[in-house]
Amino acid sequence: MANREPIGVIGTGYVGLVTAAGFAELGSDVWCVDIDAEKIAGLNRGEIPIHEPGLNEVIERNRERLKFTTELGPALEHARLLFVAVGTPPTHSGDADLSAVNAVVSAMPASDRHALVMKSTVPVGTGATVKRKFAEQAKGFSYVSCPEFLKEGSAIADFLNPDRVVVGDDGDWAGDAVAELYAPLGAPLVRTDIASAEMVKLASNAFLATKISFINEIANVCEETGADVVEVAKGMGLDSRIGTAFLRPGIGFGGSCFPKDVSALKQLAGNSGYHFQLLNSVIEVNELQKRRVVAKLEKHLGTLVGKRIALLGLAFKPDTDDMREASSLVLAARLQAAGAEVVAFDPIAEEAASGMLKGVEMAGNAAETFDGADAAVLVTEWSEFNDIDWQAASDSMRGNVVIDGRNHLDGDALRNLGLVYEGVGRGGSAA
At 344, is the secondary structure helix, strand, or coil?
A: strand
Instruction: Give mean pLDDT, residues 102-107.
Output: 95
pLDDT tens column, 273-310 = 999 999 999 999 999 999 999 999 999 999 999 999 99
Share of the chain above pLDDT 90, in %: 88
Q: Name the pLDDT band for 427 (thresholds 50, 70, 90).
A: confident
User: Which residues of the chain are in CATH 3.40.50.720 domains?
Assistant: 7-192, 226-422
Question: Mean pLDDT over residues 222-244, rounded?
Answer: 96
User: What is the model's pLDDT at position 411?
Assistant: 93
pLDDT tens digit sequence for 309-361: 999 999 999 999 989 889 999 999 999 999 999 999 999 998 888 889 989 99
Angle between helices 258-271 and 277-301 (to 10 degrees): 140
Q: How far is CA 188 from CA 161, 163, 179, 191, 387, in A?
A: 11, 7, 11, 10, 40
CA distance 16 to 361: 33
Residues 212-233: what's their mean pLDDT? 96
Q: How far apart are CA 369 and CA 328, in angstroms?
A: 15
- What whole-number distance in Å separates Cα of residue 174 and Cα of residue 79? 12
d(CA 173, CA 169): 9
Annotation marks residue 257 as catalytic? yes
pLDDT at 122 > cutoff 70: yes
Could you count the other beta carbons within 10 Å of the beta carbon of residue 272?
Answer: 11
The mean pLDDT value for 235-264 works out to: 92
**Smallest Cα–Cα separation from 371: which of 399, 396, 391?**
396
Identify the pLDDT of residue 370: 97
Average pLDDT over residues 183-189: 97
Beta bridge mates, 312: 345, 378
Is 315:321 a contact under the CB 8 Å cutoff?
A: yes
What CATH number has the domain spanning 226-422? Answer: 3.40.50.720
Contacts of residue 364, Cβ cutoff 8 Å, sequence gap at least 6 = 345
Complete DSSP assignment for 389-405: -HHHHHHH-SS-EEEET
Q: Which pairs with CB-CB distance under 8 Å and at least 24 residues apart come from 405-413?
A: 405/250, 405/251, 405/293, 405/327, 405/377, 405/378, 405/379, 406/248, 406/250, 406/251, 406/378, 406/379, 406/380, 406/381, 407/229, 407/230, 407/248, 407/249, 407/250, 408/378, 408/381, 409/378, 409/385
Task: Give me the pLDDT at residue 260, please.
Answer: 87
Which conformational region is residue 282 in: left (phi greater than 0), alpha (psi within -120 to 50 degrees), or beta? alpha
Nearest to 312 by CA among 241, 230, 416, 387: 387
Distance in angstroms (rounded) separating the CA atoms of residues 369 and 396 = 9
d(CA 408, CA 106): 48
CA distance 406 to 252: 9
Give the rounded percent of residues in the chain with a pLDDT score beyond 70: 98
SS3 83: strand
Q: Given strand 115-118, what is the order of strands in its sheet?
A: 66-69, 30-33, 7-10, 81-84, 115-118, 142-145, 165-168, 189-192
Q: What is the pLDDT of residues 359-390, one digit of tens each?
A: 999 999 999 999 999 999 999 999 999 999 99
- pLDDT of 257 higher than 90: no
When pLDDT is cut at 50, 70 and 90, the band that residue 67 belongs to is: very high
Gap between the Cα atoms of 166 and 131, Å rounded: 19
| 429: confidence class by pLDDT, cuts 50, 70, 90 | very low
Quote the pLDDT of residue 1: 45
List Cβ neighbours of 202 (8 Å cut-off, separation of 6 or more). 121, 123, 124, 261, 264, 265, 268
pLDDT of residue 113: 94
Question: Which listed residue (32, 146, 222, 257) is catalytic?
Answer: 257
Integer distance in angstroms from the first to the last C-alpha of the chain? 50
Angle formed by the axes of helices 126-136 and 99-107, nearest 10°: 30
With H, G, I as helix, E, B as strand and everything else as coil, classify residue 118: strand
Given a contact cutoff of 8 angstroms between Cβ atoms, the answer to whether 281 and 217 are in contact is: no
Beta strands 308-312 and 375-378 are parallel
Distance CA 372, CA 353 (A): 23
CATH number of 7-192: 3.40.50.720
Mean pLDDT of 401-410: 96
Where does the pLDDT of residue 430 fall: very low under 50, low under 70, confident under 90, or very high at 90 and above?
very low
Neighbour-count burial of 275, counting CB atoms closer than 10 A to its CB (0-12 exposed, 13-18 middle, 19+ buried):
exposed
Please report the pLDDT score of residue 428 as a whole number: 59
Average pLDDT of the chain is 94
| Residue 90 pLDDT grade (very low, low, confident, very high; cuts 50, 70, 90) | confident
Name the residue among 87, 162, 154, 160 with its Cα closest to residue 120. Answer: 87
